[in-house]
């Protein structure tokens, strides 16, 4: 069953262009891992006024992108992004799950 997940993350001020650059060059093996784990239609939006990133993704299963933290390529990506995002002690991005309150098909 396909579900959707939304969450927010926090970009450090002044790093919008770098964030966009790094994601435009996403590592092919990371992209493949996400797709292999049933993650699709993954979008990230930025609120420039607050530096809040809003992510949404479709899941074909129970796990989203943030549940792949034990995979080495994900850990390397988190390390790569840690200098421009708010992170936890393991360099995973600080994420806040969001409750879906409306969906128009």
Residues designated catalytic: 23
Instruction: Say how many residues make up the chain.
Output: 105
Going by C-beta distance under 8 Å and a sequence separation of 6 or more, which residues neighbour residue 12? 51, 83, 84, 85, 86
Neighbour order of strands in the sheet with 2-10 = 39-47, 52-60, 2-10, 96-98
């Amino acid at each position: 069953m396909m579900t959707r997940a939304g969450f927010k993350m926090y970009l450090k001020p002044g790093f919008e262009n770098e964030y966009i650059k790094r994601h435009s060059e996403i590592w092919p093996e990371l992209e493949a891992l996400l797709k292999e784990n049933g993650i699709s239609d993954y979008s990230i939006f930025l609120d420039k006024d607050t530096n809040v990133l809003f992510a949404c993704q479709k899941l074909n299963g129970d796990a989203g992108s943030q549940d792949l933290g034990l995979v080495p390529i994900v850990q390397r990506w988190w390390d790569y992004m840690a200098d421009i995002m708010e992170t936890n002690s393991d360099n995973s991005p600080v994420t806040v799950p969001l409750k879906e309150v409306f969906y128009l098909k």
